[in-house]
Each structure stands twice: as C-alpha cells, then as structure tokens.
Chains A and B, each alone.
Chain A
C-alpha cells in the first residue's frame, strides 16, 4: 500500500506501525510517530493497523535552542 510519510509517498508491505518501524529501521528510542496528526504511543504500534494513504509523521531529535 502507499502511505505518506513526512510528505513523501512511500510504498510499504507493512501492516502495522511496528512493522513499518522495522521496515524503516527506526531506532528503539528517540523517535515519535503521529498518524493523521495524532501521536501514537510506541506501546500501541503493534496493534495500530496501517491503511492506504495514511498521513504519517515521524520525528527525531534535532539541534536547537
């Protein structure tokens, strides 16, 4: 299916957020995911099903004051 991740169109075979995390090699900590502008806690990634055209944002730390 096709998702939009950080404004980029991405093809994936993942069915859940945790599978997507593995596919994208996301680290164990230091990242957060929002689906359709709602933060999804890591504990829910396993059960959070993906669907076509979902809008996903993944963030990490950046330098800033």
Chain B
C-alpha cells in the first residue's frame, strides 16, 4: 500500500481517529492502539479550577501519533484563528483540523468562514486540514488557499449515515491535488471501505468506534476495512456491466457438445 503524505509527513495508516464519546480514557487508548492510527484529533476546553481532572493527552501521546487539534466550538473565522493559536501553544503542533459549524442541529460546516479561516491560518504557518461540505468547488478553493488536505463530510457528524454525499465525493477525489480525507458520518467499516475503494486518501472515524459495544474490536474492524478498501483501489476495481448483463467467469461450453 502506498504511504499517505500530508504536508511532507508520511503516514502508513489511512485511518484517523477522533477521541470523543469514549466511555473511558482507557478504552479510548486501547482503541487508538488497535486501530494503528497515526493521526488523532483532540479538542479543547476551559480548565475547571475546582476539579483537577485526568489529562487525556497522557493517553494518546505517542511518537507515531500526530496530534490533530480541532477548533470545535468556534463559529467564525476570527474565533477559529484564536482557537488555533491556543491549540498550537497548548499542544506544540501547527497541525490543525479546522472546523467551523455554527448550526448545532446539523453541525454542518460554514463554507465561507472555513475558507476565510484557511487563508488566514495558512499565512500564520498552520498545516490546515479543513472539515468541509462535500462541495467540489469549495474543495478546490480550499486547496488553492493552501489547505494540506480537504476533509469533506460523508453525512452529518455523529449521524452514522454513511456516504450520503457519494456522488460529490467522487468529483472531489477526481479533482483534488491534495489528499481527500472523508470525515464525519462514517458509521460502519463498510462505509469506510467504500470511501477508500472510491479513491479517498483516508477516513476520519470517531462516533462509530467510540459508541460501539466493543470499541476496541470496532477500531480493528475499521483498520481492516480501510486497508481493504485502499488495497482494492490500488489494485483497480473491475468495471460494472451495463444493465446487470452477466459476463461469464467460467467457460460455458468447454465440456459439452453444442
């Protein structure tokens, strides 16, 4: 399998993991380990002055893992730039998952603020991986603005609805000059495998693993699905026949007289 390269860094794994919704930090850590991921997202929150909590970073820091802080909670480009600066300071990385979704019901990303923020953050030296609508025109604009990847959504965050944007993902993958990471809504390993078979460069999965009855097993299942999908893409899928017309895979008359 070819390595994935983002902003000059090589990744052997094409599965990115989110850290939300796990029942415990230990379960999260075991799932990250089982998935073989090398890219893990982390959010930010205000510290609680009255209650000293466990530091979740202790559970995910590893030499092979690139931390990917996100800007979840921001509503504008200006807030995103502020969040990015806080993240860079706190976590010592200029990698950033840019996400600006002001609408709490569908959590759909604001394309205008996302593009503005990408332009600004690239100038400030961030490696920007923007979460965005599966809009091929927007993805090209983000790439032109200097985004290191584009991360179009499959369906709304946490919905487990799979590749509802399939047709547009095809166009984005065809056009993109940067890696395409399918993010959000991937609810089953089969969804991830399909995205990879289509030629996506990576998938970002969180909810489907974290809320599973057995997240560690599910993380393994996603790892295998992403590998299978990518291998199939690199091997080259057969073309579909027109109108379900059969194409025999065994000779039909080799041992009978006509």
Kindly identify which residue among A7, A8, A62 contacts B45, using a CB–CB cutoff of 8 Å: A62
Once bound together, how far apart are the Cα atoms of A59 and B21, in whole Å? 19
Query: Within 8 Å CB of A27, what residues of B?
Result: 55
Whether B82 is near chain A, meaning CB under 8 Å from some CB there, is yes
Q: Is the CB of B55 within 8 A of A30?
A: yes
Whether B9 is near chain A, meaning CB under 8 Å from some CB there, is no
Query: Within 8 Å CB of A59, what residues of B?
Result: 44-47, 86, 90
Interface residues of B in 159-217 (CB under 8 A from A): 204, 206-207
Number of A-B contacts (CB under 8 A): 94
Whether A53 is near chain B, meaning CB under 8 Å from some CB there, is no
Residue of A nearest to B86 (CB): A32
Kindly identify which residue among A5, A6, A25, A31 contacts B90, using a CB–CB cutoff of 8 Å: A31
Once bound together, how far apart are the Cα atoms of A8 and B125, in whole Å? 33
Whether B85 is near chain A, meaning CB under 8 Å from some CB there, is yes
Interface residues of B in 122-156 (CB under 8 A from A): none
Interface residues of B in 89-134 (CB under 8 A from A): 89-92
Once bound together, how far apart are the Cα atoms of A39 and B92, in whole Å? 14
Q: Is the CB of B47 within 8 A of A58?
A: yes
Which of the four size classes fits the interface of chain B? 35 or more
Q: Is the CB of B86 within 8 A of A39?
A: yes
Residue of B nearest to A57 (CB): B46
Residue of B nearest to A29 (CB): B92
Query: Within 8 Å CB of B77, what residues of A?
Result: none
Interface residues of A in 1-31 (CB under 8 A from B): 5-8, 10, 24-27, 29-31
Query: Within 8 Å CB of B92, what residues of A?
Result: 29
Once bound together, how far apart are the Cα atoms of A58 and B47, in whole Å? 6
Q: Is the CB of B90 within 8 A of A62?
A: no
Whether A34 is near chain B, meaning CB under 8 Å from some CB there, is yes
Once bound together, how far apart are the Cα atoms of A5 and B47, in whole Å? 9
> What residues of chain A have their CB less than 8 Å away from a CB belonging to chain B?
5-8, 10, 24-27, 29-32, 34, 37, 39, 41-42, 57-65
> What residues of chain B have their CB less than 8 Å away from a CB belonging to chain A?
18-22, 25, 28, 41-49, 52, 55-57, 70, 72, 82, 85-87, 89-92, 157-158, 204, 206-207
Pick 5 A–B contacts, CB within 8 A, sort by A.
A8-B49, A62-B44, A63-B56, A64-B41, A64-B72
